[in-house]
Amino acid sequence: MPEWITNLIATDRLLTVGFILFILWLFGRSALKSWPFVSKLVTLVNALVGDGPGTGIVDRMASLEETNVTLKEHVATIHHETTPNHGGSIKDAVARIENGLDTERTTLSDHIRETEPLMPMLTDMHRKYIGDNPHQATPTGG
């Protein structure tokens, strides 16, 4: 047997070697059991500090603040365009169009009411000059 093995298993050193092996075993066992916690801790530190430029939580918060400012500007523009402001908004334009359509609808209703008595005469003229076929282009009678 080699001399170093003989020295290790000597009675006076055997207790020391056993104690060292036991401590190493405890350390290894503790390291394996605490691995999930250490892994989560490293992930947390990486999230807070970041592992590259612009990846830390402070950088991401600044980016979100810029996005928030941009979104507020867009919302303000949309609000301006969708609320009445005496002529310049989409809401005002739609109101003008609706009012114009109401006027046209009233005018058309008045026109229909005024021309209703003429419909029998127009129907007779249509039959006389065009006939029952609306695609015929020449008058039928003379």
User: What is the structure's pLDDT at 136?
Assistant: 57
Contact 116, 128 (CB under 8 A): no
Q: How confident is the model at residue 86 (pLDDT cuts 50, 70, 90)?
A: confident
Place of tokens 């021309």: 115
Tokens 């070697």 map to which residue? 17
Q: Which residue would you say has higher pLDDT here, 45 or 51?
A: 45
pLDDT tens profile 88-112: 788 888 888 898 888 888 898 888 8
Alpha-helix residue ranges (DSSP H) falling in the chain: 3-8, 11-49, 57-82, 90-115, 119-129
d(CA 47, CA 90): 45
Tell me the pTM: 0.39
Residues 92, 85 contacting (CB under 8 angstroms)? yes
Q: Tell me the Cα Rg of the chain.
A: 47
Residue 135: C-alpha distances to residues 131, 132, 138 (Å): 9, 9, 9
pLDDT band, very low/low/confident/very high, at 73 (cuts 50, 70, 90) = very high
Q: How far apart are CA 51 and CA 54, in angstroms?
A: 9
Q: In the structure, what pLDDT confidence band is assigned to residue 41 with cuts at 50, 70 and 90?
A: very high
